[in-house]
Structure 1
Amino acid sequence: MLRLRLLTWDVKDTLLRLRQPVGHSYAAEARAHGVRVQPEALSRSFREAYGAQRRRFPNYGQGRGLSSRQWWVDVVKQTFRLSGVQEESVLMVMAEKLYDDYCSAHNWEALPGASETLSQCCRRGFRMGVVSNFDNRLENILCQCNLRHHFDFVLTSEAAGCAKPDGRIFEQALRLGGVLPQQAAHVGDDYSRDYRAARAVGMHSFLLRAAGQGEEPEVPPEHILPTLSHLLALIEKGEDQHC
């Protein structure tokens, strides 16, 4: 590979993860309002509500008259409705509170090795950017989790107007980074949205895939990251081999 100049990063389940399942956070918020709902039921309802909202209003309702805040408030309210909570005034209060709670380190934590790997990449002189199917809360979440300072830019699907695996979001990132596709590599945990989508626009890419997570037959072993801390060694090996 050419000498890499830019590394772009997925965020959810690559650099940050939820501290606990969604259902547990939602159940705790419900208890604070005197409402008892099982976390497992809320997790199932969330998956259903989120999936339906994403199909109806892709990418947080971009171009459909919705703000991402309204998009998420509707998901939260529908999650509780599907779990049997119907009182509208309580639904609204809980939805607004949960939207704000998911904007902070209260519900997010860095994956093991994330901060150290990002620091090492910065010291090596890489430009760094985020390419994430996230809404506009991401800047604040990264600040709260003490990761924002590593990045030259944070590009969310909400800001870009398109979501991975759409190649246009990667093309925007390349323009922000000021590099050619072959001078950039993307790091993420999703085969289609991260690994394959970045390669489709001419970038290099690495797939974060822990042992036992299953294997993608089209991904060479030298593109697989068992952990984030393997990244620099793989980059150096690739540059040495001029692959």
Structure 2
Amino acid sequence: MRHKAVFFDVGNTLLYPHPSVEAVCVEVASRYGYLAGLKEFSRALSVADGYYLQRYETDDSFWMDENKAVSMWVDFYELLLREVDIDGDARMIAQAIYDEFGKTKRWKLYPDVITTFEKLKSKGIKLGIISNWDGRLPELCLELGLSKYMEFIISSALVGRVKPQPEIFKLGLEKVGIEPANVVHVGDHYYADILGARNAGITPVLISRESDLNIEDSNCLVIKNLFELTKSNLF
């Protein structure tokens, strides 16, 4: 068996917002008397997503600091709220939305996650999580039942390193004591996960759950779910 450990990203790899980002925004805004609907928030989300991508591509260092990560997300939700014409209370509600996503009930595991973990563990493969996430990640993983499968959980904001920096992957390698050539990393983001893992000498696997992702010259396995990972020839 060549690969002895698998590292995982979190968002859009292991879990997703429940029932959706838009639905949570509708619910929280309604607590403050604002009745914008799902369609309005869906349109606004595309604008906020554009803001996130521009900020991430310009300088992703906010993921290395808890305060900066929180500020980025509150900015994100404030922009989203202003796009649906919520102005006066936007900052306060944006903070409330951010706080809401710290609750376990706002996240759901994909149905293939636990089965995949159990199958990999039964083969003696060590598992870990490396994610660009705020400091709430360890508690979230504990409450979702992921921690018991993991050798470690690394949140970028807590260690001061960010994917795709090889240093954050090296922290995981130190935790499991396995050479990078014997490790796989699974994630949904080409820049952070695929390039990051490859730069650390780790075998990257790109997961695309929602669409037929076809990145030319990716030079890595592309899967649509984790069942395809366990059926691959990596183990």
Residue 109 (structure 1) aligned with residue 111 (structure 2): no
Q: Give the C-alpha shift of residue 151 in structure 1.
A: 0.8
User: 1:40 is matched with which residue: 36, 39, 42?
Assistant: 42
Instruction: Using the TM superposition, give the Cα deviation of residue 146 of structure 1 relative to its aligned residue in structure 2, in angstroms.
Output: 1.9
Deviations, residues 89-128 of structure 1 (Å, cap 9, x unaligned):
x334423322221112322111121111012112221221
| Structure 2 CA distance for partners of 1:103 and 1:214, relative to 1, 3 Å | same
Residue of structure 2 in register with 1:157 after alignment:
156
User: For 1:52 and 1:85, how far apart are their aligned partners in 2?
Assistant: 23
Which amino acid in 2 is paired with 1:226?
K
Aligned to 1:73: 74
AA in 2 matched with 1:169: I
Question: How far 1:85 moved relative to its partner?
Answer: 1.8
Structure possessing the higher radius of gyration over alpha carbons:
1
Distance in structure 1 (CA, Å) of the matches to 2:208 and 2:31: 37
Please give the residue correspondences for 1:201-240 in structure 2 after superposition, counting only pairs within 5 Å. Answer: 201-210=200-209, 213-219=212-218, 223-234=221-232, 237-238=233-234
> Can you give the 5+ residue segments of structure 1 that lack an aligned partner in the other structure?
none
Aligned length: 232
SS of alignment partner, residue 81 of structure 2: helix
1:108-147 equivalences under 5 Å are 108-147=107-146
| Counterpart residue identity of residue 47, structure 1 | D
Alpha-carbon distance between aligned partners in 1 of 2:217 and 2:121, rounded to the nearest angstrom = 30
Q: Any stretches of 5+ residues in structure 2 without a counterpart?
A: none
- Counterpart CA distance in 1 for 2:54 and 2:206 is 28
Normalising by the residue count of structure 1, what TM-score does the alignment of the two structures yield? 0.82
Query: Residues 45, 226 of structure 1: CA spacing in aligned structure 2 closer, same or farther, 3 A cutoff?
Result: closer
Q: Which residue of 1 aligns with 2:84?
A: 83
The whole-number CA distance in structure 2 between the counterparts of 1:74 and 1:226 is 32
Distance in 2 (CA, whole Å) between partners of 1:188 and 1:52 is 20
Specify whether residues 192 and 71 from structure 1 end up closer, same or farther in structure 2 by C-alpha distance, changes over 3 A only: closer
Deviations 1:143-202 (A, max 9, x none): 232222211111122123232222221122112222211121111122332223212221
CA distance, structure 1, for counterparts of residue 99 and residue 68 of structure 2 = 14
Tell me, yes or no, if the aligned pair for 1:59 and 1:158 is still in contact at 8 Å. no
What RMSD over aligned residues (CA atoms) do the two structures have, in Å? 2.7
| CA distance in 2 between partners of 1:195 and 1:183 (Å) | 16
Question: 1:53 Cα shift?
Answer: 5.2
Write the distance in 2 (CA, Å) between the matches of 1:231 and 1:25: 31
Instruction: Report the secondary structure of 1:66's partner residue.
Output: helix
Once the two structures are overlaid, the 10-residue window that deviates more, 122-131 or 209-218, is 209-218
- TM-score between the two structures when normalised by the length of structure 2: 0.84
Decide which moves more: 132-141 or 46-55: 46-55
> 1:23·1:41 contact (CA, 8 Å) conserved in 2?
no
